[in-house]
A = this chain, B = another copy of it.
Amino acid sequence: MKVIRDPVHGYIELDELILPLIDTPQVQRLRRIKQLGLSNLVYPGANHTRFEHSLGVMHLATMLTSQIDSIENEEKEELRAAAFLHDIGHGPLSHVTESLIKQYTRERHEDVKPILRKGEIAEILQDNGLDPMTIAAHIKGETDLGKIVNSEIDVDRMDYLVRDAHYTGVAFGLVDYVRLIHEMKFYENKLVVNSGGLKAAESLLVSRFLMHPTVYYHHVSRIAETMFTRAVKHLIDKGTLDPFKLRRMEDDTLFELMRADDDYAGEIAKRLDERRLYKRALHVGHEEVGEGVMHYRGKVERAEAEIADMVGIDSREILIDIPKKPEIAEMKALIKMNGKMVRLDEASNIVATLEKAHFDNWKMGVYTLKEHRDAVSKAAREFFGAKKETTQYRFSDIEG
Contact = CB atoms under 8 A, between A and B. Distances in A.
A44 interface: yes
Interface string A1-18: 011111110110010000
Q: Residue among A25, A183, A398 with the most chain B CB within 10 A?
A: A398
A49 B44 contact: yes
A52 B398 CA distance: 13
Interface stretch (A100-108, A139-147, A353-361): A353-361
A182 B395 contact: yes
Given A28-B273, A213-B199, A397-B2, A178 B350 contact: no
B166 A391 contact: no
A43 interface: yes
A6 B44 contact: yes
Given A4-B44, A253-B256, A391 B206 contact: no
The quantity of this chain's copies bound in the complex is: 4
A326 interface: no
Q: On chain A, which size bracket covers the interface?
A: 35 or more
A31 B274 CA distance: 10
Interface string A152-195: 00000000000000111111101110110011000000000011
A55 interface: yes
Nearest to A24: B274
B360 A353 contact: no
A350 B339 contact: no
A348 interface: yes
Interface in A41-82: 43-45, 47-49, 51-52, 55
A338 B196 contact: no
A275 to B, nearest CB: 5
Contacts of A28: 273-275
A336 to B, nearest CB: 8
Q: Residue among A19, A48, A51, A175 with the most chain B CB within 10 A?
A: A48
Contacts of A302: none
A165 to B, nearest CB: 9
A128 interface: no
Contacts of A5: 43, 45, 168-170, 396, 399
A210 interface: yes
A203 interface: yes
Contact of A47 (B11, B48, B259): B48
Nearest to A9: B169
A202 interface: yes
Interface in A195-218: 195-197, 199, 202-203, 206, 209-210, 213-214
Nearest to A167: B7
A389 interface: yes
A23 interface: yes
A14 B398 contact: yes
A40 interface: yes
A168 B48 CA distance: 11
Q: Residue among A4, A214, A255 with the most chain B CB within 10 A?
A: A4
Interface in A272-302: 273-276
Interface of A: 2-8, 10-11, 14, 19, 22-23, 25, 28-29, 31-32, 40, 43-45, 47-49, 51-52, 55, 166-172, 174-176, 178-179, 182-183, 194-197, 199, 202-203, 206, 209-210, 213-214, 251-253, 255-256, 259, 273-276, 337-339, 348-350, 352-354, 356-357, 360, 388-391, 393-399
Given A2-B398, A199-B213, A338-B391, 8 more contacts: A5-B43, A5-B168, A5-B399, A31-B275, A170-B176, A179-B395, A196-B396, A199-B214
